[in-house]
Structure 1
Amino acid sequence: MEHAVSDIDALVREEKRLTAVESHNEAWAEGLSAGIEPEIIAEAALATAFAEILRTEGEDSALALLERMREKVIAGEFDPVRYRH
């Protein structure tokens, strides 16, 4: 039974992640339509995300997230050819 609960939790988390990606994609498109450069949109999104993590989870969590993202960049996970939502 415990395995089934973790599977459900994983499905719920993935659904939330996909909804968040969709929301961010819409906001990104709106920013581009308003003439805002991608770098500015990206910096604003990252600043907002890190401010929220700092507020809710603290500095250690924000730094851990930053390190995980750094490792993904180095590994090429955001390469436009490989990146899929």
Structure 2
Amino acid sequence: MSQLPGTLDIDDQADQTHEDERHAALAYLDEAWNEAVYDGLDEDCLAQAALFTAIRSMVATYGEEAAAGFAERLAERIRAGEYTIPYNRQ
């Protein structure tokens, strides 16, 4: 199906909505993380708690096999730099 420039089909709109929601979710989590660090919580403890909570939610939503498949691909994605935030020097 062809599209006019600058228009979105239904699937693209759903993808954009999910992308917007992911950005909003990340902003909420970043704010909560920063507050917890400011209150003196150790970032290692926060990371472990966040991973546990995320994986528990994925298992509840998608099942153990799907969550395990996601976890199996995580090392490769980390090594590929998907979770690395570029350092900007000013």
Classify the TM-score, shorter chain.
Answer: 0.7 to 0.9
Q: Percent identity?
A: 32
C-alpha separation in 1, matches of 2:83 and 2:55? 19
Letter in 1 for 2:23: L
Report the structure, 1 or 2, having the larger helix content: 1
Q: CA RMSD in A?
A: 1.8
Shift in Å, 1:69: 2.5
Q: Which residue of 1 aligns with 2:55?
A: 50
After superposition, what is the alpha-carbon deviation per residue over 1:14-45, rounded to whole angstroms, capped at 9, x for unaligned? 01100110111011111101111111111100
**Matching residue within 64, 71, 78 for 1:66:** 71
Q: Which runs of 5+ in 1 are unaligned?
A: none
Q: Which runs of 5+ in 2 are unaligned?
A: 2-7
**Matching residue within 61, 67, 82 for 1:77:** 82
Letter in 1 for 2:22: R
The normalised TM-score by structure 2 is: 0.79
Q: Which residue of 2 aligns with 1:9?
A: 14
Matched, 1:41 2:12: no
C-alpha separation in 1, matches of 2:73 and 2:17? 22
Which structure has the bigger radius of gyration?
A: 2
Closer, same or farther in 2 for the Cα pair 1:80/1:12, shift >3 Å?
closer
Q: Which residue of 2 aligns with 1:28?
A: 33
C-alpha separation in 1, matches of 2:18 and 2:74? 19
The normalised TM-score by structure 1 is: 0.83
Letter in 2 for 1:31: A
